[in-house]
Structure 1
């Protein structure tokens, strides 16, 4: 999918109260929503704006703009292990590679801490509910072997590997376009709250008292980006008419948060419409070279399929009773998803940033160096061999993990008979369980 940046057709003054015409499409960053959610009950707030505003005021008064795990544990009344888990998870989904938390050595994480604005956004989206797969007509057949109730964010009621292999299709799984629309709708609903957490108070009444600086606006990059290349695309401040062409040596004038809100709402609405049109074209069977979920090619002599685009994940799905190999020269993506693969051996021997293994059974899966995070979910009798900064294991059964990881594995949900070890030390890995 390509969204070329078109010249603006708006003749309005960007500093006026009129809403500029959107010129580019907005995309949610997938990483926080796919790899940044933690099932810690104390991170789900009844009134997130009030709770996080108070948290922001408390932490900013004592710890400037960076927060370590000790201060976070005290402010949220959580354990030091959970506070450190928050910082480690946040570092794996941050949008800025230059942030000190991203480059920090494990022993320095607590002293360096997280940027308070990124931390607040991270805590806010913990209330996000992932888009669930549609139910399967044969669900009763697997009720005795797979959990039907959720121990993690309502997501354990998803298809089991047995259901997936019987359906032999991804039609029950949300497409990337479906997930993007779901995430855009979430941002649309919560945008006012998100902007209020990034805004600063000035003299004035009502909406006139809340302004957004260019620095605060840039932190929206944790959740959104313009264009298809993510961090390599259009910088947020340069895409916004309020801050475009700002002099780096001259601080840009803060903008009313209400003005930013109206401008972003218009762009989100246009982006949702674009995704809807793509889905409509897909359902009607109209070919589209830009549709990341349509372009498919045979991956092996089996029923496997693979899909690829510059911005989306590379999908490896439906590999059955065969071997499958992908090397660095075969991949343009920084993210891979292995879905619905059974009784097979999968090799992804390429440097990646993120990887997801979902709904696989009786398979061996080998992943090359994954720089950020790996998520293994809803798998049965799978051997996983990987090197990664961090790994999250969710709702798996009778799986064996040989891990080379920088951080303790996170084991979440309803898991049974797992073996997790360090292949170098041949010993059990000390994991964090929630």
Structure 2
């Protein structure tokens, strides 16, 4: 009878990771929009610092959730900064049904954040952005420009004028470079991250840590599985541990070391895939410099991606022209406008996230952004947008026409901003 039941059972196909088309990806949004320029949140040794902070937060939590008062107490930050932590976390959470995401502005403090999401959010505050490649003749593109990013403390970015003078767009990290950088960061820190989410087996102490299916789902704040237009909606369904779990019965926790090995293997595989893609492009692009120079004049590099979190639609290198895009032209939930000069750009589509980076002497009109907008390293740019929250960093002589739900966050070295 047992053999007959086994024979009739379906093959373990629901384990999507067996599908070679599915690759692990970092969630771009927390690294792009979730970093706060609050020095007390940047830990030199996150695991050593966050372990006792987690214990203190747990003692102050109600149903595994912590409000701004508990965050302020545990992290020794002001009430305003604690509120900013909650608001920023709500804008980059992976779970759209989380109470913090659904909370009204006046409810944010009382609803609070899930402790596990908060710990992951605090951990990645130590992430450092990928540095641009240095221009070989920096003196020829010298310019007075805010040189320190408010988000990582040392990123020295080329100004829009430098980019125009030197055709230095090719020195800026590509989305593929950034994805590899984020994966490398996760590869280095995933063991610590898992240990912060894991729980000791009763009676065996910290030497035997296990991870529940519910806790595993929170790692979806940082990574997701999918490729070629298909995403696995639940992280547990991408695992060999919980893919066939009965939703009506609690799944048995698995050893944290097993989850760590599984994630490390898939991260290494994804990094190898990215490396192969980059090598293939370099080998087949002998005239890349000439192509870049031509694009910098008056063209649009629009990278259309499917509706997932792997990356934004990129509009780059628009110069001395007008550009109009509507919803049907932008195949994704986010957009990045980068290194555009002396242009007028209309993106009249509903968005979740938008980034305006390294633009100058331009007018940029964005459709309503439901989550967040970031404007960084821009000069003499007019930005017109309605959004839930906006962060402005290291800009000068810019004018903002804003419809926002939350007070704008203006950080870094800014000069002569108008709103």
Give the paired residue count.
396
Task: Find the counterpart in structure 2 of residue 389 from structure 1.
Answer: 388
Does 2:3 align with 1:35?
no
Task: Find the counterpart in structure 2 of residue 265 from structure 1.
Answer: 264
Does 2:51 align with 1:53?
yes
Task: Tell me how far 1:84 sits from its aligned partner.
Answer: 0.4
Distance 1:322 1:30, change over 3 A: same
1:198-217 matches, cutoff 5 A: 198-203=197-202, 205=204, 208-217=207-216
Task: Find the counterpart in structure 1 of residue 355 from structure 2.
Answer: 356
Task: Tell me how far 1:300 sits from its aligned partner.
Answer: 12
Task: Find the counterpart in structure 2 of residue 327 from structure 1.
Answer: 326
Task: Find the counterpart in structure 2 of residue 220 from structure 1.
Answer: 219
TM-score, normalized by length of structure 2? Answer: 0.89
Task: Tell me how far 1:168 sits from its aligned partner.
Answer: 3.4
Task: Find the counterpart in structure 2 of residue 336 from structure 1.
Answer: 335
Q: Where in structure 2 are there 5+ consecutive unaligned residues?
A: 1-10, 287-291
Query: What is the CA–CA distance in structure 2 between the aligned matches of 1:170 and 1:238, rounded to whole Å?
Result: 39
Task: Find the counterpart in structure 2 of residue 427 from structure 1.
Answer: none
Task: Find the counterpart in structure 1 of residue 8 from structure 2.
Answer: none
Is contact 2:162–2:168 with CA below 8 Å preserved after alignment?
no
SS of alignment partner, residue 133 of structure 1: coil
Is contact 1:318–1:339 with CA below 8 Å preserved after alignment?
yes
SS of alignment partner, residue 382 of structure 1: strand
Is contact 1:132–1:155 with CA below 8 Å preserved after alignment?
no
Per-residue CA deviation, residues 47-76 of structure 1 (Å, 9 max, x unaligned), is 321321212211222323111111110111
Is contact 2:143–2:162 with CA below 8 Å preserved after alignment?
no
Q: Choose from 300, 305, 309 the match for 1:309.
A: 305
Is contact 1:195–1:257 with CA below 8 Å preserved after alignment?
yes
Distance 1:179 1:140, change over 3 A: same
Distance 1:299 1:111, change over 3 A: farther
Query: What is the CA–CA distance in structure 1 between the aligned matches of 2:53 and 2:19, rounded to whole Å?
Result: 34
Per-residue CA deviation, residues 240-262 of structure 1 (Å, 9 max, x unaligned), is 11111101111000000011111
Task: Find the counterpart in structure 2 of residue 25 from structure 1.
Answer: 23
Task: Tell me how far 1:207 sits from its aligned partner.
Answer: 6.7
Query: What is the CA–CA distance in structure 1 between the aligned matches of 2:19 and 2:123, rounded to whole Å?
Result: 26
Q: What's the C-alpha RMSD, in Å, of the aligned pairs?
A: 2.5
SS of alignment partner, residue 373 of structure 2: strand
Per-residue CA deviation, residues 255-288 of structure 1 (Å, 9 max, x unaligned), is 000111111111111111011111111111279x
Q: Where in structure 1 are there 5+ consecutive unaligned residues?
A: 1-6, 15-19, 288-295, 421-434
Task: Find the counterpart in structure 1 of residue 69 from structure 2.
Answer: 70
1:144-163 matches, cutoff 5 A: 144-163=143-162
Task: Find the counterpart in structure 1 of residue 6 from structure 2.
Answer: none
Per-residue CA deviation, residues 182-210 of structure 1 (Å, 9 max, x unaligned), is 11110010011000010011136577520
Per-residue CA deviation, residues 122-158 of structure 1 (Å, 9 max, x unaligned), is 0000000000111223433454521334554145511
SS of alignment partner, residue 181 of structure 2: helix
Query: What is the CA–CA distance in structure 1 between the aligned matches of 2:172 and 2:339, rounded to whole Å?
Result: 10
Per-residue CA deviation, residues 156-196 of structure 1 (Å, 9 max, x unaligned), is 51110011112335311111111111111100100110000
